[in-house]
Structure 1
Amino acid sequence: MQSSPRRTQAWQGASWLLGLISLAALAGVVARRGDIERFARLLHALAPGWLVLGLVLQAGTYACVALAWDLGLRQNGIHRPVRELLALALGKLFVDQSVPVGGVGGTAFVVATLHRHGVPHGACLGTLVLNLLGQYLAYLVAAGGVTGSLWLAHQAHAWMLGITGAFVLVCVAAPLVMVLVLRLGRRLPRSLLRLPGMAPLARTLADVPAGMLRKRRLPAIAALNLALIALDAATLWAMLHALGLPAPFRHALPGYLLALMVTTVAPIPMGLGAFEATGVAALTSQGVPIEGALAATLLLRGYTTWLPMLPGWLVAHRALRRMR
């Protein structure tokens, strides 16, 4: 009975190790091909104004998440303060990073917290499912637009197309499975329930209110998720400018989005190493110096992952203490 948890822990440990090895390998490549002194000079000459702009842009990403959840809750006739949803978004980020199980930990945290505030369990799940569908839709639109622009500019490399293909496959398959389970409900064939993970998914989605997919909030939620992608890419653009590298936004967007794609499909917690390597490769392929590409990608990681960890821990700790 204990073999499954042990296998899970072993898999997570191996994933973290693989991520750290990838990050060390990237540092080795940059040290060999780049100029360490230039890398240090770039970081030493950071422009404070652009760093502040990065904070503002990241605040906008949490506003997008909160507004998307608000739309989903309102669809179920439920109103919660947006500031409460903003705090919840921070807490979810901390739980997702601390318990890297594909976002399941953070999702469970959001459902439990909203339920404690009086939101019905089904409405919580419905809100998160609707947001996931909007997120995948935004991913597909962004991937299509960025790949098309790279192709027209003759900058689409084979490795970029491979990553995009795998990413699109995930973004199409995951929503189709969710929609299939929601549509069929208890009429789902037993042969499908035998597939790995299908039975727990069916039990979870059984509480989602009927008619969720017939509502018309999905395009607005997708637009908010698309804005979130743009704000994260704009943060990378601001970090390049902070380093004194005035690269255009059209270079920062593929750099961020391709790194996000790898993080989505790679079996590594937070895409550690893979995110940085892909971001650096995408930026350097567009003419950004390798030292600047690495510095900008690491700064972006600091803004999107490490900087929010402390406030996220405070929110999650307070919420979990109240639940007890």
Structure 2
Amino acid sequence: MALPRMPFLRRIACLVPIAVIGVLVALNWPLVASGGRGLLTANRYWLLAALAVTALGWVAVSFARQGAVLEPLPARRLFATQFASGAANHLLPAGLGAGAVNLRFLRGCGIPLTRSSAALALYLLAEAAVRLVLLLTLLAAFPDALRLDGLLPQAAALPLVWAAGGLLCTALLALIAIRPLRRAVAAFAGTALTDARALHARPTRALALWGGSLAFPVLQAAGLVAVALALDVPVPVIHVAIAYLSASIAAAAVPTPGGIGSVDAALVIALVAAGASVTAAGSVVLGYRIITVWLPLIPGALVLGALVRSKVI
């Protein structure tokens, strides 16, 4: 029996993310509809502002991705890839969907696998470092922004600490015991360091990497602030921004596809810690997730399918 031809398989592959996203939206439709009804009475101008900063977030990520590689990338396809990555993130946990899409894009641009992987690692490192430094800076300036006393029992954090420690120890033992793995990691680290030095020798690349990495969480926090203002939640703007940063870092410890569940819970807890009521925090999170996740989801899946069909990824 003849095997299916590659064009046929590619057509099937471009339909898979669309079908999966459609099922995901259908399963979560009651939640989306509930949040949508809450937004009907909100301030339209602040909602438009939230939409605008969400779109600018994809631009910021595009700059950061370009800053992580030496070669110039096609700007339009780079932006389309970042937009489609949001839909891909709902197929795999912990940002693996976006990583896979961007890895395929970089490989399609002729960048070798090792250097493409190093570019992804550099982007993730820069984005995480900037997010953490930004949060610590704001907490130092506004130490009373989050009131966690009594909100999260100290014992509740112990399982997460033990789990993180166990994973770290397991990874270190595997690295020490498995020689091929140790050699592969050493080669990857050498390539990553070489590329990082070369990138930082070019001011435009370094500015794109670190500027985009800083702009993205700032724009995301601004989106949450805009939704809170649209719903007239009586919490200081800077406290809402700090709540977003702390929640996004905490949610990274619980890798779920698209952050569904983990990000929502972390945002609600952080907003309550910032001074919002549970009801108000839930409304803000629902509105924010509709704007940043659910509205772009189906268009993002369509773009992802188009990129697969046109062999960009």
- Work out whether the TM-score is over 0.5: yes
Counterparts of 1:190 and 1:42 in 2: how far apart (Å)?
A: 50
1:185 maps to what in 2?
none
2:211 aligned with 1:228? no
The structure-2 alpha-carbon separation of the partners of 1:208 and 1:125, relative to structure 1 and needing over 3 Å to count, comes to farther
Q: Does 1:129 align with 2:136?
A: no
Letter matched to residue 50 of structure 2:
G
- Relative distance call for 1:152 and 1:47 in structure 2 (3 A) is closer
Match of 2:103 in 1: 111
Q: Which amino acid aligns with 1:243?
A: L
> What is the deviation of 1:277?
2.4
* Shift, 1:144, TM fit: 1.5
Which residue of structure 2 lines up, in the alignment, with residue 59 of structure 1? 55
The alignment status of 1:270 with 2:253, answered yes or no, reads no
Could you tell me how far apart the structure 1 residues matched to 2:271 and 2:175 are?
Answer: 45
C-alpha separation between the residues in 2 aligned to 1:225 and 1:160? 33
Whole-Å Cα distance in 1 between the matches of residues 295 and 59 of structure 2?
Answer: 16
Match of 2:91 in 1: 98
Q: CA deviation at 1:117?
A: 3.3
Question: Are residue 212 (structure 1) and residue 195 (structure 2) matched?
Answer: yes
User: Given the alignment of the two structures, is residue 81 of structure 1 paired with residue 71 of structure 2, yes or no?
Assistant: no
Q: Give per-residue Cα distances to partners, 1:118-172, cap 9 Å, x unaligned.
A: 3343442232122112112112202312443453557354749997xx79x98xx
Q: Which residue of 1 aligns with 2:8?
A: none
Extract unaligned runs of 5+ from structure 1: 1-19, 28-35, 181-188
Distance 1:147 1:209 in 2: 32
Q: Tell me if structure 2 keeps the 8 A contact 1:134–1:219.
A: no
Letter in 2 for 1:274: S
Q: Provide the rounded CA distance (Å) in 1 between the counterparts of 2:211 and 2:137.
A: 14
Alignment partner of 2:310: what SS?
helix
Identity between Structure 1 and Structure 2 (%): 25
Provide closer, same or farther for how the CA distance between residues 198 and 301 of structure 1 changes in structure 2, counting only shifts above 3 A: farther
Separation of aligned partners in 1, 2:131 and 2:300? 25
Paired residues in the alignment total 268
State the Cα distance separating 1:206 from its structure 2 match: 7.1
Residue in 2 aligned with 1:318? 306
Q: What's the offset of the Cα at 1:305? A: 1.8
One-letter code of the match for 1:72? A
Alignment of 1:299-318 (within 5 A): 299-318=287-306
Tell me whether 1:260 sits opposite 2:254 in the alignment.
no
Root-mean-square deviation over aligned CA pairs:
3.9
Residue 193 of structure 1, CA deviation: 5.5
1:37-56 maps to which residues of 2 (within 5 A)?
43-56=39-52
Taking a change above 3 Å as real, the CA distance of residues 119 and 241 of structure 1, as seen in their structure-2 partners, is: same
Residue 12 of structure 1: aligned partner: none
Residue 80 and residue 232 in structure 1: after superposition, are their counterparts in 2 closer, same or farther (change >3 A)?
A: same
> What letter is aligned with 1:141?
V
Offset from partner CA, 1:236-270 (integer Å, 9 cap, x none) = 11001111235332121122122212320014333
Deviation at 1:207, TM superposition (A): 9.2
Task: Map residues 124-163 of structure 1 onto 2, 5 A cutoff.
Answer: 124-152=116-144, 155=147, 157=149, 159=152
Partner AA of 2:111 in structure 1: V
Give distance in 1, aligned partners of 2:44 and 2:140. Answer: 34
TM-score between the two structures when normalised by the length of structure 1: 0.68
Do the aligned partners of 1:259 and 1:274 also contact (CA within 8 Å) in 2?
no
**Stretch deviating more after TM superposition (230-239 or 204-213):** 204-213
How does the TM-score come out when normalised to structure 2?
A: 0.71
Shift of 1:92: 1.7
What is the one-letter code of the residue matched to 1:192? I
CA contact (8 A) 2:67 2:207 kept: no
**Within 2, Cα distance between the matches of 1:103 and 1:200?**
26
